[in-house]
Structure 1
Amino acid sequence: MSLEYPDNLRYTDSHEYVELTATVAKVGVSAFAVDQLGDIVFVDLPEVGDEIVKGSAFGTIESVKAVEDLKAPISGKVIKRNDAAIDTPEIISTDPYTTGWLLEIQATDPSEIDATLSATDYRVKVEGA
């Protein structure tokens, strides 16, 4: 099965993605993570105004198979969270990049994005191709 990894996004080793526009970062989980987790039944996210730190857990995602920590791909303050993903976590499974995003963060150091993987590099990492 071929999963999508949009080229405009950057990816982490822990399977989160980040889309940086100026200093605002949209964060979610990759199609690979969704595929590995299976049916997502619950997501726990920080509140608007909370600070998150790159590499640290900022919430959890739960599927019928497992509960996994969500790791911040970039540091900053939460300026928006996707309450639809909290209320209806299945949207993360069906559309992780458009309707299933998790947070928007006001990045404190946008250059942290440089430590993430391009779509091509991420695809090689997870699919070996």
Structure 2
Amino acid sequence: MQKEIQHLAGEDFCYLTTIGRRSGKAHTIEIWFSLNDATLYLLSGGRDKADWVKNIYQQPSVQVRLGSITYMGRARVLAAGDEDELARQIVFAKYAPRSTDDLTEWSRASLAVAIDLLNEVK
């Protein structure tokens, strides 16, 4: 799958759909991302206080729309380590040149989340 999705790495945003931990309803947000093979990386500036992160803790099965294609995925909140550092580096590298804000502190202080993309939703 990784070759078939790499052309979507340059999209400005992805659309992440989680299941509400209280409502049980689908909630979709627009969020910055970076793609590495078949894993999508996100940074939560609100850390674990963000609703989408709270939803992931409750139900890690998610959907991600990249361009016009929707994928099923499994989300993981990353602990400090190599993958966490990779997530920070590649999301920062993608958006820092595009932003008028200094994203350095955001990339350091955010909570890193990985989504392993599983299959396309038909």
- TM class by shorter chain equals 0.3 to 0.5
Q: Which has the higher helix share?
A: 2
What TM-score, normalized by structure 2, do the two folds share? 0.37
What TM-score, normalized by structure 1, do the two folds share? 0.35
